Amino acid sequence: MRLPPLVNPVETLSKDEISRYSRHLLIPEVGLEGQRRLKSSKVLVIGAGGLGSPVLLYLAAAGVGTLGIIDFDIVDESNLQRQIIHGQSDIGRPKPESARDAINELNPYVKVRLHRERLEVGNAHNIISAYDLIVDGTDNFATRYLVNDACVLAGKPYVWGSIFRFEGQVSVFWENAPGGNGLNYRDLYPEPPPAEMAPSCAEGGVLGILCASIGAMMATEAIKLITGIGETMLGRLAVYDALDMSYRFIPLRRAPSRTSIEGLIDYQQFCNVNRAPAAPANAIPVISARELKEIKESGGEVQLIDVRGIEEWNIVHIDGAQHIPKNRIMSAEVLAGMNKEDFIVLHCKMGMRSRDVLIEMQKHGFTNVKSLDGGILAWIREVDQSLPTY
């Protein structure tokens, strides 16, 4: 959908900036006026991770005048496979600071605002209201709904993207778009999908370069919105499959059951609506990595079962563990062949999948099962640091 320019060209370009952005100025659709709009714009990028990295770099290179970065995380070595705004020397640093330094090195004419905090109900409106355009690079549904609702209440458009393994999606949402054609994220996802249908990249993985493909599309949409050129993705969902090198464009319409957004809510609770109630804490027995180590060293009888996928098992596993993936061990056939009286310790990467399996085993009468608190990452951190993390 073609939209009018989001930002007025109030800023002027210096001689050096004209030289820097000359390749933009030569494009009739952008020109001097479009570049001035870019310089006048204020864009908030939520997340300096896989998607935020290429978005920030390309918007900085394009000459966006003010870039806001909100992220509470620090740079980890596992980020560097895809989060190209950070480098080896940035490991352990706050992501907003690392991203700021990369932007300053790329384009010193860009003003960078840092928000070293988690986006939450209490701060979302004040932060988002200070920008012309929002780019959402978050990786969980609770924050996506928060971003959406805060943008609706603040009247702000935003570019949204998501990635998983080899597939990415991109769209533009703007409830108050000119012409009465506004859409928001709830038109795409009226209700959050079940947790098991939305694994994170940390659990399911992602092709690193996919972030560049999707991030570049998101940055392109941001530039089109700011300058008013081209047909935006408002009203369309782009789906990219890197394995097939294929693009699909799906038209979006207002959800028939949509209701107006009157205020911000508890999004963690919302994303658990219509799911089975969580088991009480005392119904999920856990064992610490150190406790498991003591049992193993003392020769105690324990059956250690790894419920992760085969790819994760091949990366690293605990000596003596038996590999039975979650989708297999939760079948009645497999559980029927196991001794319900054995002392069993389940583990996954961080402890969530093993707790799901434990609850299912309790339903089948297993009474002596525990989940390794913190999963194999806790074991590596507290017991055997010679093992690789992922």
- 301-335: per-residue pLDDT in tens? 999 999 999 999 999 999 999 999 999 999 999 99
Contact 264, 125 (CB under 8 A): yes
Mean pLDDT of 227-235: 97
Q: What is the pLDDT of residues 110-149, one digit of tens each?
A: 999 999 999 999 999 999 999 999 999 999 999 999 999 9
Mean pLDDT of 13-38: 98
Helices (H), 228-320: 267-270, 289-297, 310-315
pLDDT at site 179: 87
pLDDT at site 58: 98
pLDDT at site 282: 56
Contact 321, 306 (CB under 8 A): yes
Instruction: Please state, in angstroms and rounded to a whole number, the distance separating the CA atoms of residues 218 and 231.
Output: 13
Q: What is the pLDDT of residues 240-265, one digit of tens each?
A: 999 999 999 999 999 998 889 999 99
Instruction: Please state, in angstroms and rounded to a whole number, the distance separating the CA atoms of residues 360 and 340.
Output: 13
Mean pLDDT (the chain) is: 94
Residue 277 has pLDDT above 50, yes or no: no
Buried b vs exposed e over 201-219: b needs ≥16 C-beta within 10 Å? Answer: beeebbbeebbbbbbebbb
Most confident of 122-131, 190-199, 267-276: 122-131
78 secondary structure, DSSP code? G
Among residues 151, 211, 271, 348, the one annotated as catalytic is 348
> Could you tell me the pTM of the whole model?
0.82
pLDDT at site 274: 42
Residue 197 has pLDDT above 80, yes or no: no
Residue 102 has pLDDT above 60, yes or no: yes
Q: Which domains does the chain have, with CATH numbers?
A: 15-270 (3.40.50.720), 281-382 (3.40.250.10)
Among residues 151, 201, 211, 271, the one annotated as catalytic is 201
Whether 271 is a known active-site residue: answer no
Mean pLDDT of 84-99: 98
pLDDT band at 196 (very low <50, low <70, confident <90, very high): low
Helices (H), the chain: 15-20, 22-25, 31-40, 52-62, 95-106, 121-129, 141-154, 185-188, 201-204, 210-227, 267-270, 289-297, 310-315, 326-329, 332-336, 352-363, 375-382
Whether 151 is a known active-site residue: answer no
pLDDT band at 276 (very low <50, low <70, confident <90, very high): very low
pLDDT band at 275 (very low <50, low <70, confident <90, very high): very low
Instruction: Please state, in angstroms and rounded to a whole number, the distance separating the CA atoms of residues 166 and 164.
Output: 6
pLDDT at site 273: 44
Instruction: Please state, in angstroms and rounded to a whole number, the distance separating the CA atoms of residues 365 and 385.
Output: 36
